[in-house]
Every structure is written in C-alpha cells, then in structure tokens.
Amino acid sequence: MHFNPKFKKIKNKVLGKKYELDLILADSKLMRKLNKEYRGKNKDSNVLSFSLSPSVGQIFLNPNFIKKEAPKYGRDYKTHFSALYIHAILHLKGYNHGREMEKREKILWRGI
C-alpha cells in the first residue's frame, strides 16, 4: 500500500519532526481486541491511536473497515483513509472530539 506522501508532512507539522510514529495496518480481529482492551468496546473500529509517551505514538488503521465505511461519508477509500489519519494525529496531539478538533481537521485537510 502506498501512503499519501503528505502524511509525513502532516505528522511533522502537528507532532514535530522528532515524534516517532508507527502507522499500523490492522485487520478487524486485532482492532476489536484493541478496542475492547483499551476502550471497553467489543466492536471493530476504523482507526485507533495510542500515545505511548510525549514523543512516541501508534496509529492503527483498518483498511477493510475503512473501505466499507467510506461511502457512508461520501468519500472514496483514499480520501476516507487520509481523513482518519488526520483525525488520529490530532488525538495524539491531545485533541478530543468537538469543534476545535473539527476546525483543526479542516485546516490540515486543506494541506492535502
């Protein structure tokens, strides 16, 4: 799979160049396990992000889930994948769901 070349630029802009980020493609089985273990939700997920330290984090993306979910949001697969990547990056930065996060997502989206 080829990632959007701007992903690194977005990561550096939001989290900094020294931030170590693992981007992991996961299947539904692993996503369900992680979601249950860390969020108490026994269901599949499109994306999960974990801050391991102030300078290290992980983003798990589920390509099959994202592909199925994309039309629901009026997006193609690549667009939805990119939007979820941005969403996860902002969670790693400390943003929670809400207007401020949505505003920041829109700003970053313009950069793609």
Query: What pLDDT sits at residue 1?
Result: 53
Euclidean distance between CA atoms 32 and 26, whole angstroms: 10
pTM for this one? 0.91
Q: Where are the domains of the chain?
A: 6-110
Task: Give tens-digit pLDDT for 2-61.
Answer: 567 789 999 999 999 999 999 999 999 999 999 999 999 999 999 999 999 999 999 999
Euclidean distance between CA atoms 51 and 43, whole angstroms: 21
Other beta carbons less than 10 A from residue 3's beta carbon: 14
Q: Which class is domain 6-110?
A: alpha beta
The terminus-to-terminus CA distance of the chain in angstroms comes to 18
- Residues annotated within a binding site: 87, 91, 97
- Residues annotated within a binding site for Zn(2+): 87, 91, 97
Residue bearing the bigger pLDDT, 111 or 98: 98
The widest CA-to-CA distance across the chain, in whole angstroms, is 36
